[in-house]
Amino acid sequence: MELQFEWHAELFWYVDLGDYPDLGFDGILSGSGGAVYITSNQFTFPSTTGFFETAALNILPKSALYSGQNFNWWKVYNFFNGDGSSAYTLRAAKTIGDASGREYLVNTRNSFFGSSFVSLWRVIPTFPPTATNVALQATVTIGSYAIPPNAPQQGCSNLLDTNDNRIYNAVWRNGRIYGAFTQSFNFGSGTVAAIRYLAINMGTNLAEINTVYGADGFYYFYPAVHPNDADDITLVFARSNSSEFGGVHVTGRRFGFPNTEPSAQLQAGQECITGGRWGDYYGIARDPSDGSRIWVYGEWAKNVTGINSDFDWGTQWDQTRYVAPSSSPTPALTRLERQTGNFFTDGTYFCGLSSGCYNATVGADLAERINVSEAVEPGHVVEPDPNQPKLYRKARTHASGVISAHPGMTLANVPGQSMLPRPKGWTSVIEEASFSLMNGPKTLALSVSVRALLEGSSSPRISQLASLPLVYPEASGDSRPLLALMGRVPVKATTENGPIHPGDLLIVSATHPGYAMRCADAKSCEGAEVGKALEALESGEGLILVLVTSR
């Protein structure tokens, strides 16, 4: 390959061995004091018997670095977490946009005994480098995590090294820092390696996204995360189990949506790696010319001719993006048979499952319009208002349901004034279909794009439809709140009755109207149940995903 540009090489000497290096950059212009940041773990020599000394940060001025001039640079070391432990594997953010003249770093508490927080660091570079502001900005509690088990492979007893809880990359964009790491988790039938990914608001120092991702019986490890210019998240990672060779997978999560998409396999593994050692990190980056595209790469178990299976591996490169929907009207023919109420579409309806089913949106809920006696917002738990019949209020003692954030199907819309939740940019084939309930005619509002399911690839996924943000037409006249009757729903929660963990039964909060709390004794919680927690909340108040069921 012929290089088309001028390159400059810089050599940085260390007394110790620099391990796990990473490079980040701030959003400051080179002429205004911007810098490039290199982090590493420093070990004493020799490498086979050396011990960890400190995490180090090198700060390099962009102005001289970009122009190939000689420059002064400086090293910061002896980073300590809020509990006094040494910071390990600092990750400097790749800053997309302007972070107000600052650079941010993040690290987990990588301990054999596990931990429950991440450390956020703030750097304000000054040039010449006579005084730099480097400080621990916050210790963010995210819930417990522990070192993952190593991953089994198909066809042999050798295990792939999943490493520990160190964070693998960091990205700053739009006031949030994103990061991901591997941890242990039990999805039901035993502990496996799973992914924890975070989006932390740097203004509030709170985790807006704090999600464990994986599957029962499968091992997910070495994640890398990156948002696009719409703040949609992409994740790339390794996956294996006893019936699957190590391969590369990718997934994503639309901005504002509570659920992570099912993963797609970019490259399947071909054989068992008998050496056991796996690549220490996967790569991910935003395309500099198109902020909607994210590049990913990762290791997979490749059968390389002439190389024994101790060292066989390949690297898979791919570009990902969220598919933009067509703006043209759908040509698909659909109709409603008024005599029977049957709905027909010409062509095949694909819901993503092997048997017949109906999906309004993946992970959405069934919700009904209600009237309220006080202001409510998505996530509030509500109950009938005892002082105003037929109205609802924030729950004090009982739970009728939760105000929906992302309804997939809505009931009890006012005829002629239906508020139709539809994926932004998609043309709905059917917008209203009248049907009868026991108390008279009502309107069923749904938005299904048959064109989206039929055109494109040979195996279209309804998740492409579901992953788009829901918007409400401005012309709609029905602005009443939507009560989620069943489904997975974001719920406002508090830890006044103890930390909340996945699987905990939640009931109405005793002190926070409209909030849910942990139920300590299921027998005493009858009548106040909100649902079962699907996410953790270790302290304070927050919004967590809850499985709401009919009562």
Report the percent of the chain where pLDDT is more than 90.
Answer: 46
Q: Report residue 100: phi and psi, to 5°.
A: 60, 45
Contact between 315 and 222 (Cβ < 8 Å): no
According to the 3-state scheme, what is the secondary structure of 410-452?
A: EEEECCCCCCCCEECCCCCCEEEEEEEECCEEEEEEEEECHHH
Only one residue has tokens 């991910």, namely 284
Greater model confidence, 449 or 315: 315
Q: Find, among 329, 304, 324, 328, the residue nearest to 314 by Cα.
A: 304
Q: What residues contact residue 514 under an 8 Å CB cut-off, 6+ apart?
A: 376, 380, 381, 382, 394, 395, 492
CA dihedral 536, 261, 287, 237 (to 10 degrees): 70
Alpha-carbon gap, residue 467 to 20, rounded angstroms = 35
What per-residue confidence (pLDDT) applies to 47? Answer: 62
pLDDT of residue 436: 22
pLDDT of 325 strictly over 50: no
Task: Provide the pLDDT for residue 462.
Answer: 31
pTM: 0.62
SS3 letters across 378-411: CCCEEEECCCCCCCEEECCCCCCEEECCCEEEEE
Domain ranges of the chain: 1-145, 147-322, 325-358+415-476, 364-406+478-551
**According to the model, what pLDDT value does residue 412 have?**
66
Rounded CA-CA distance 246/300 in Å is 6
Task: Give the range with max mean pLDDT: 282-291, 403-412, 541-550.
Answer: 282-291
Q: Please answer whether residues 442 and 435 qualify as being in contact, where contact means their C-beta atoms are separated by less than 8 angstroms.
A: yes
Q: Where are the beta strands (DSSP E) in 187-282?
A: 191-201, 206-213, 219-227, 233-241, 244-253, 264-267
Decide which of 214 and 478 is more confident.
214
Residue positions counted in the chain: 551
Asked whether residue 432 carries a pLDDT value surpassing 50, the answer given is no
Q: What is the mean pLDDT of the chain?
A: 79
The predicted pLDDT at position 2 comes to 57
What's the pLDDT tens digit per position in 192-248?
Answer: 999 999 999 999 999 999 999 999 999 999 999 999 999 999 999 999 999 999 999
Give residue 463's identity as a one-letter amino acid code.
S
Return the pLDDT at 348. 52
Average pLDDT over residues 170-191: 96
Distance, in Å, from the CA atom of 250 to the CA atom of 258, rounded to the nearest integer, reads 18
Q: What is the mean pLDDT of residues 494-512?
A: 92
Q: Which of 126-130, 284-288, 346-350, 363-367 has the lowest mean pLDDT?
A: 346-350
Distance CA 332, CA 330 (A): 5
| pLDDT for the residue 117 | 97
What's the CATH fold of domain 364-406+478-551? Virus Head Decoration Protein; Chain: A, (2.40.300)
Q: What is the C-alpha separation between 55 and 187, in angstroms, rounded?
A: 34
**18: confidence class by pLDDT, cuts 50, 70, 90:** confident
User: What is the pLDDT, as a whole number, of residue 414?
Assistant: 56
Average pLDDT over residues 501-510: 91
Q: Assign 508 a pLDDT band (cuts: 50, 70, 90).
A: very high
For CA atoms 262, 267, 270, 275, the dihedral sign is negative
C-alpha–C-alpha distance, residues 224 and 22, integer Å: 13
What pLDDT does residue 80 have?
96
Please indicate whether residue 355 or residue 100 has the higher confidence score (pLDDT): 100
Of 146 and 427, the structure prediction assigns the larger pLDDT to: 146
Which residue, among 447, 69, 465, 450, has the nearest Cα to 257 in the 3D structure? 465
pLDDT value at residue 491: 92
- pLDDT tens across 488-500, in order? 888 999 999 999 9
Cα separation, 226 vs 234, in Å, equals: 5
Mean pLDDT comparison of 125-134, 281-290, 439-448, highest-scoring range = 281-290
